[in-house]
Chains A and B, each alone.
Chain A
């Protein structure tokens, strides 16, 4: 057999389960972009000079843990960049069928693993240090966990 792939081979690399998995992951990533985008916007736009009554998300957002000590980068911006990277990887994989195709799910796996672990740390901080929980932050942590679990299944289909 020559080194070319037939139409049949191309569809075989994406089973119906793979299709649904890809769709679900993409939807989750889009939801993540929405949530982290809102959190980033709300953090960066906090231009008010007066405090009103406080709710859970304000306390978390105003804590020192909402920003990295380097460059005062908001953690929500880190999250948004991760989601955008995963979105690109998921979208581009369908369009770029090359010998590097398997590395797309590997990259998504790596990013979602790191994102999930960092989100779990932040959730821990909310529960035990800040003593204030922001529902949007917890939602993002849950989304990243689901993406990570799905990425494991996807990774298995391209592993030797």
Chain B
């Protein structure tokens, strides 16, 4: 007799067993563990800091740190924020071209703290000025360490973290702490910011090479091209 309902030849679903669920749970935990391993600090390399500098350093007449020869034909004024990823990129590019331009006396880089992104930016800028108090070399080594610490986010700029950097670099800790805790460099940082605003700086990094303004972190090859062009003039 024909059935009123059409019977479809479909297999009955195989139910899932408890052991299969357990295997999936273990696999999920394993996968998560692997991803955490690949994301967290466990496998990330420590940044090398405090290496000896290969170039001259000094302080300009108006109190800004520089690296390179004081009377180099190319004078760069660089406005940076220590929390800015692009500033870190430009700093790395400058390190890359350093043997060709800074160490050979062709380029001088003057640093100004355009600290505007977050309150941590201002504190990091003040800390760098406290390092500058000790000497220009200390400033640049502190500067390098600050940019290397960037990937961890705001935790890299707490007062205690900033003091740990000074300790790691072998700076005078007591003087540094007094300087940072006392907020004595707030005015100096504000001066840099005001100068930046007056010069037309809107974001970081913004740099001026022999007076010509260049906004942003340009690639290393473009940097070389700009330097070479100006050197020929």
A binds B: yes
A57 CA to B150 CA, complexed, in Å? 15
* Chain A positions within 8 Å of B25 at CB level: 110, 113
Are A51 and B86 in contact, with the CB atoms below 8 A? yes
Inter-chain CA distance A10–B29, complex, in Å, is 34
Q: Do B152 and A64 touch across chains, with their CB atoms under 8 A apart? A: yes
When A3-B11, A118-B35, A160-B15 are in contact, do A50 and B152 touch as well, CB less than 8 Å? no
Could you tell me if B16 and A70 are in contact, using CB atoms closer than 8 angstroms?
no
Contacts of A4 in B (CB 8 A): 7-10
- Categorize the interface residue count of chain B: 35 or more
Q: B107 on the interface (CB 8 Å rule)? A: no
> Taking the nearest CB of chain B, how far is it from the CB of A14, in angstroms?
11
Q: Which residues of B contact A103 (CB under 8 A)?
A: 16
With both beta carbons as reference points, the residue of chain A lying nearest to B205 in the complex is identified as A50
Interface string of B201-233 (1 = CB under 8 A from A): 011111000000001111000000000000000
B14 within 8 A of A: yes
* Residue A17 interfacial (CB < 8 Å): no
The closest CB in chain B to the CB of A114 belongs to: B28
Min Cβ gap A42→B in Å is 14
1/0 contact string of A84-99 vs chain B (CB within 8 Å): 0000000000000111
Selected from B5, B29, B86, B154, the residue in CB contact (under 8 A) with A48 is B86
Asked if B164 is at the interface (CB within 8 A of a chain A CB), the reply is: no
Chain B 13-56 against A: per-residue CB contact (8 Å), 1 yes, 0 no?
A: 11111101100110111011001101110011000000000000
Residues of B within 8 A of A78 (CB): 35
Q: Give CA–CA (A68, B117) in the complex, Å.
A: 26
Which partner residue on chain B sits nearest A60 by CB separation?
B153
Q: When the two chains form their complex, are residues B7 and A49 in contact, meaning their CB atoms are under 8 A apart?
A: no
Q: Do the beta carbons of B29 and A106 come within 8 Å of each other?
A: no
For A54, what are the chain B residues with a Cβ–Cβ distance below 8 Å? Answer: 83, 117-118
Q: Would you call A155 and B21 a contact (CB within 8 A)?
A: yes
Known: A53-B117, A62-B85, A117-B32. A101 touches B155 (CB 8 A): no
A16 in contact (CB, < 8 A): no
| Residue A33, interface by CB 8 Å | no
* CA distance in complex: A9, B10 (Å): 11
| In the bound complex, CA of A159 to CA of B21 (Å) | 9
- Whether the pair A50, B206 counts as a contact (CB closer than 8 A) is yes
Contacts of A100 in B (CB 8 A): 13-14
Nearest A-chain residue to B153, judged by Cβ:
A130
Known: A6-B5, A106-B21. A114 touches B13 (CB 8 A): no
Distance between B48 CB and nearest chain A CB, rounded to angstroms: 16
Encode A120-156 as 1/0 by CB contact (under 8 A) with B: 0110010001111000000000000000000000010
- The answer to whether B182 has its CB under 8 Å from any CB of chain A is no
Q: Which residue of chain A has its CB nearest to the CB of B30?
A: A114
Give bound CA distance, A100 to B20, whole Å. 13
Q: Does A83 contact B (CB under 8 A)?
A: no
Residues of A within 8 A of B (CB): 3-10, 13, 48-54, 59-60, 62-65, 67-70, 75, 78, 97-103, 105-107, 109-111, 113-114, 117-118, 121-122, 125, 129-132, 155, 158-160
Residues of B within 8 A of A (CB): 5-18, 20-21, 24-25, 27-29, 31-32, 35-36, 38-40, 43-44, 81, 83-87, 116-118, 150-155, 158, 202-206, 215-218
Provide 5 A-B residue pairs closer than 8 Å at the C-beta atoms, listed in order of the A residue. Answer: A50-B215, A50-B216, A64-B152, A117-B32, A129-B152
- 6 nearest A-B residue pairs (beta carbon): A64-B151, A130-B153, A49-B216, A50-B203, A51-B84, A131-B154
